[in-house]
Amino acid sequence: MKSTKEIEKEYKVTRQTLHNWINEGLISTPRKDWRGWFEWDNRNELEIKDLMKVKEDLYNPSVQEIPAEKLKIFNRRYLGSKQKMLDFIYNTVVNNTTGIYTVADIFGGTGSVAEIFRSKGKRIIINDILHSNFISYLTWFGSDEVDYSKIKKYINELNSLESKEDNYVSLNFGDKYFSMENARKIGVIRERIEEYTDLNEREKAFLITSLIYAMDKVANTVGHYDAYRHKMDSLKPIQLRVPELYHNLDNEIYCDDANELVRRIKADLVYIDTPYNSRQYGDAYHLLENIVDWNKPDLTGIAMKMVNRQHIKSDYSTKKAPTVFDDLIQHIDAKYILVSYNNMAKKGDGRSNAKISNEEIITSLEKRGEVTIFETPFQTFTTGKTNIEDHKELLYLCKIHSIKRKTGNIKKTVLKNNYIKSAINYTGGKHKLLPQLHPLFPKDYENFIDIFSGGANVGINANPKEKIYLNDTESHIIELYKLLSTTAYDEVIYKVNDLIYRYKLSNTKKFGYEFYGLNSADGLGKYNKEGFLKLRNDYNKGVYDNDKLKPIVFYVLIVYAFNNQVRFNSKGEYNLPVGKRDFNVNMEKKLHDFHKALQEKDFVFSSKDFREFTQIGENDFVYLDPPYLISTASYNENGGWTEKDELELLGFLDELNKKGIRWALSNVSLHKGKENTLLLNWSEKYDTHTLDYHYNNSNYQSTAKNNITQEVLITNYKID
């Protein structure tokens, strides 16, 4: 433990800075001693170190010049990049707005403006019409898990590729944009990236981003591909670098026309940095688009541009600019809009002249709210009072008068075929089946009653007029849902992190696998075993019985347990061994989204036997996903699900049917060669829908029919 004074001295920061960091949520609040003074522990120190590293990378321009080991978002040239004015933009926002959590950068370019906000912990929505920019956003802002050692291995391999033969890149761009050697190498590298079969979307983006950034470093250009220099003077060999890995949570990434996109998104601040003049970005970066898409299209002209570039043409570089700008502004759903505009060139017809005038920007913004204009370096003046024709970089901040709320927000998320995932991996979880189940459910009902809710994948995504009932005899899980529905996310996450820290469990989200001397394939079991067993023991011995957050302890146990499963022995003790994974980005995202849904909708929680559901209303809809008689799962081990239970359940459903209550029953009719004849015979009175899902994909691919599991949904109503 260290005192604040010791921390000030060691890290050369003032007490005030430390307080600011705590207030901005950049580091956690340390615990206090009996006098109320902060005690800084190892975790607090690690947070300070992490933060200082991010700040150093962002603000020390010399760091960007030196080819640092890792590739950074800023290591590229781009027309109109706002890199030099990030402080101006950030300070304008910090000093003149409140309540900014989500920032949308909808003409993202390099993504540098979004990055400054991402690095401060904001949630990011980022977009650009160019696919080459979108790919780099997956790298910098994506949340898919990345096997970093695999990326390093592949980048090494790509760097060592050699080619003496010509290919698409060398034939078209060799001795023009690149030396012949570099062009050949770019061609073989790009081809090889296509050949890797074990990459997820983000991992592939890491490799392509690394390539397009490396191309920029050796291109025989002035920073864009509208033309190449006549004299070939960029002969240094191309060298790919490993992009920095950021662990993001729930950013949104798009490659769309900004005018289309704003109709679908919602943010606290929307930042707008359109092209200013008639130079099309699709022309300036055609070569990157070509390499990224890798369709090897026909090319034209001296500059060797793709013949078809219609899809990347922007209205903002044409005389339509003022009209599309106005349409954009009028359709934004946000608290604030911030517009960057370079007003140096007067509006007119010349190629470098601005397409939108200062007056047009103000007129469009003033329809939405109060506008303030900021000029570097930080002089502020209000609309219309000053002549600003000569100023260079301007920021127009519009505080929107009345927030246009989109209606039916929850419904929209749910229907998007983008179903919320359970925070826990429950055996037999129905998440994958939801796109098939939902169309089979009635459209209109009062309450949704999920009697065997398990992981709650189905219940959480329901859209009843009234309430969602989540019931399961596994009461630990129901207690967890109940707690999540009433506890602030910050409190939940604080408890999770606190347990991880106190039981010395791994935190790869923050430190990566290498920190623990382990890799993703072998998993983290070796490191976590001791802490996990201690936590399991404390939980089973009742150490947390008086803790109102006890369900969170249970959650952390599941996260670090074998396959994230739930299993109790006959003495009621949680008895699974340690697993391979930890509270990684995926788990955190699932917890976050699940928690949000639990807070937004109206739930009733219970842990009853299905036979106790005697009060179901005639306009309610009952969904049932009971244990399956012919396949076992861990929840079926104690007490089990017997033929008697099955018969009584079928009788229960017949009774509901008589009362005209609609229900849908999930089950398996066939499993490993066994048929559930009891169920199949009974189901003939109703409608049976077969679903396409194999519980065990790998088995299914490798073996015979014997391993097929046939999922069915039996219903007693006509599908709408």
Ligand X SMILES: C[S@@+](CC[C@H](N)C(=O)[O-])C[C@H]1O[C@@H](n2cnc3c(N)ncnc32)[C@H](O)[C@@H]1O
Distance of CA 352 to the CA centre of its chain: 38
CB atoms within 10 A of CB 464: 19
Give the nearest distance from C-beta 368 to ligand X in angstroms. Answer: 19
Contact with ligand X (CB under 6 A) among 145, 147, 273, 582: 273
Q: Does 333 bind ligand X (CB under 6 A)?
A: no
Give the nearest distance from C-beta 127 to ligand X in angstroms. Answer: 6
Q: Does 109 bind ligand X (CB under 6 A)?
A: yes
Instruction: Tally the residues of the chain.
Output: 720
Nearest to ligand X of 80, 297 (CB atom): 80
Q: Does 354 bind ligand X (CB under 6 A)?
A: no
- Output the six-digit token pair for 397: 């901040």
Give the nearest distance from C-beta 110 to ligand X in angstroms. Answer: 3
Report whether 411 contacts 463 (CB < 8 A).
Answer: yes
Give the nearest distance from C-beta 277 to ligand X in angstroms. Answer: 10
Nearest to ligand X of 108, 187 (CB atom): 108
Taking alpha carbons only, the member of 456, 476, 338, 457 closest to residue 399 is 338
Taking alpha carbons only, the member of 221, 212, 222, 226 closest to residue 301 is 226
Q: Does 112 bind ligand X (CB under 6 A)?
A: yes
Q: Which residue is nearest to ligand X (CB)?
A: 109
Concatenate the DSSP letters of all residues of 441-476 into one string.
S-S--S-EEETT-TT-HHHHT---SS-EEEE-S-HH
Nearest to ligand X of 260, 370 (CB atom): 260
Nearest to ligand X of 280, 666 (CB atom): 280
Q: Please tell me what DSSP assigns to residue 416.
A: T
Nearest to ligand X of 110, 278 (CB atom): 110
Nearest to ligand X of 129, 138 (CB atom): 129
Q: Does 554 bind ligand X (CB under 6 A)?
A: no
Give the nearest distance from C-beta 128 to ligand X in angstroms. Answer: 5
Q: Does 520 bind ligand X (CB under 6 A)?
A: no
Candidate segments 67-75, 121-129, 182-190, 425-433, binder of ligand X by CB under 6 A: 121-129
Report whether 225 contacts 289 (CB < 8 A).
Answer: no
Angle at alpha carbon of residue 231, lines to 225 and 235, rounded to 5°? 80
Q: Does 663 bind ligand X (CB under 6 A)?
A: no
Give the nearest distance from C-beta 395 to ligand X in angstroms. Answer: 12
Mask: binding to ligand X, 584-623, rule CB under 6 A, as x and -?
A: ----------------------------------------
Q: Evaluate the omega torsion of the peptide bond into residue 626 and state whether it is cis, within 30 degrees of 0.
A: no
CA distance 582 to 542: 23
Q: Does 268 bind ligand X (CB under 6 A)?
A: no
Nearest to ligand X of 265, 524 (CB atom): 265
Candidate segments 66-74, 110-118, 193-201, 647-655, binder of ligand X by CB under 6 A: 110-118
| Integer CA distances (angstroms), 313 to 214, 261, 274, 349, in order | 25, 16, 13, 18
Candidate segments 103-111, 496-504, 505-513, 529-537, binder of ligand X by CB under 6 A: 103-111
Report whether 125 contacts 268 (CB < 8 A).
Answer: no
Mask: binding to ligand X, 58-97, rule CB under 6 A, as x and -?
A: --------------------x-xxx---------------
- Output the six-digit token pair for 369: 């709210």
CA distance 456 to 448: 12
Report whether 365 contacts 329 (CB < 8 A).
Answer: yes
Mask: binding to ligand X, 368-407, rule CB under 6 A, as x and -?
A: ----------------------------------------
CA distance 239 to 182: 9
Mask: binding to ligand X, 213-252, rule CB under 6 A, as x and -?
A: ----------------------------------------
- Output the six-digit token pair for 217: 């470093």
Give the nearest distance from C-beta 394 to ligand X in angstroms. Answer: 13
Helix 585-600 crosses helix 489-502 at what angle (to 10 degrees)? 150
Candidate segments 125-133, 481-489, 596-604, 629-637, binder of ligand X by CB under 6 A: 125-133
Nearest to ligand X of 109, 627 (CB atom): 109
Helix, strand, coil percentages (3-state) for the chain, rounded to 5, are 40, 15, 45
Contact with ligand X (CB under 6 A) among 316, 396, 603, 628: 316
Report whether 142 contacts 253 (CB < 8 A).
Answer: yes
Residue 42 phi/psi, 5° resolution?
-55, -40
Contact with ligand X (CB under 6 A) among 58, 183, 219, 258: 258
Nearest to ligand X of 316, 445 (CB atom): 316
Report whether 132 contacts 216 (CB < 8 A).
Answer: no
Concatenate the DSSP letters of all residues of 590-656 into one string.
HHHHHHHHHHHS-EEEE---GGG-----TT-EEEE-PPPTTS--GGGTSS---HHHHHHHHHHHHHH
Q: Does 275 bind ligand X (CB under 6 A)?
A: yes
Nearest to ligand X of 258, 292 (CB atom): 258
Number of residues engaging ligand X in binding (CB under 6 A): 22
Dump strand ranges (E) for 474-626: 603-606, 621-624
Nearest to ligand X of 80, 523 (CB atom): 80
Candidate segments 128-136, 223-231, 460-468, 641-649, binder of ligand X by CB under 6 A: 128-136
Residue 337, beta-bridge partner list: 270, 398
Contact with ligand X (CB under 6 A) among 93, 100, 124, 130: 130
Helix, strand or coil, per DSSP, at residue 320:
coil
297: exposed, middle or buried (Cβ count in 10 Å: 0-12, 13-18, 19+)? middle
Contact with ligand X (CB under 6 A) among 45, 191, 257, 366: 257
Candidate segments 51-59, 271-279, 663-671, 693-701, binder of ligand X by CB under 6 A: 271-279
Candidate segments 14-22, 36-44, 274-282, 703-711, binder of ligand X by CB under 6 A: 274-282
Candidate segments 4-12, 268-276, 472-480, 630-638, binder of ligand X by CB under 6 A: 268-276
Report whether 329 contacts 107 (CB < 8 A).
Answer: no
Q: Does 128 bind ligand X (CB under 6 A)?
A: yes
CA distance 317 to 351: 9
Candidate segments 267-275, 391-399, 520-528, 652-660, binder of ligand X by CB under 6 A: 267-275
CA distance 606 to 586: 28
Give the nearest distance from C-beta 211 to ligand X in angstroms. Answer: 19
Give the nearest distance from C-beta 240 to ligand X in angstroms. Answer: 21
Give the nearest distance from C-beta 312 to ligand X in angstroms. Answer: 7
Give the residue carrying structure tokens 């329809």: 367
Contact with ligand X (CB under 6 A) among 48, 73, 103, 113: 113
Report whether 164 contacts 528 (CB < 8 A).
Answer: no
Candidate segments 109-117, 330-338, 531-539, 650-658, binder of ligand X by CB under 6 A: 109-117
Helix (H) or strand (E) holding 360: helix 358-366
Q: Does 129 bind ligand X (CB under 6 A)?
A: yes
Q: Does 314 bind ligand X (CB under 6 A)?
A: yes
Report whether 719 contacts 440 (CB < 8 A).
Answer: yes
Q: Please tell me what DSSP assigns to residue 124.
A: E
Nearest to ligand X of 82, 202 (CB atom): 82
Q: Does 269 bind ligand X (CB under 6 A)?
A: no
Binding site for ligand X (CB under 6 A): 78, 80-82, 107, 109-110, 112-113, 127-130, 133, 257-258, 273-275, 281, 314, 316
